[in-house]
Amino acid sequence: MARGKRTIRASEIGTFLYCQRAWWYQRQKVKPMNQDELEDGSEFHDEHWLQTSSANGLSKAAWVLLLIALVILGVHFGLQAAAS
């Protein structure tokens, strides 16, 4: 690879668009001074993702149970109508 040329990744572009100085520090391999806060934020987002994915799964399960209940009701009333 020629000197000065390297692949720029999408995450780097995002960093650059958010803060050019942060992008430059990242390229210089300078560690952030607020490493503890960054780790806390990452932990918070991991926990939040678990909660939202659990909620989404429960929501889907509720819809499936509702559909099953409607099918059972339909079959029940269909059989009652046929028996009359």
Compare 62 and 5 and report the one with higher pLDDT. Answer: 62
Task: Quickly list DSSP for 44-72.
Answer: HHHHHHHHHHHHHHHHHHHHHHHHHHHHH
* Residue 33 within a domain: yes
* Residue 68 within a domain: yes
Range of the domain at 26: 7-38
* Residue 45 within a domain: no
- Does residue 30 sit in the same domain as residue 58? no
55 half-sphere exposure, CB direction, 13 A CA radius? 6
* Residue 22 within a domain: yes
**Total structural domains within the chain:** 2
Compare 83 and 67 and report the one with higher pLDDT. Answer: 67
Please give the Cα distance from 62 to 43 (Å, whole number): 29
2-54: per-residue pLDDT in tens?
A: 567 888 889 999 999 999 998 999 899 998 889 899 999 999 999 999 999 99
- Does residue 82 sit in the same domain as residue 58? yes
- Does residue 34 sit in the same domain as residue 56? no
* Residue 13 within a domain: yes
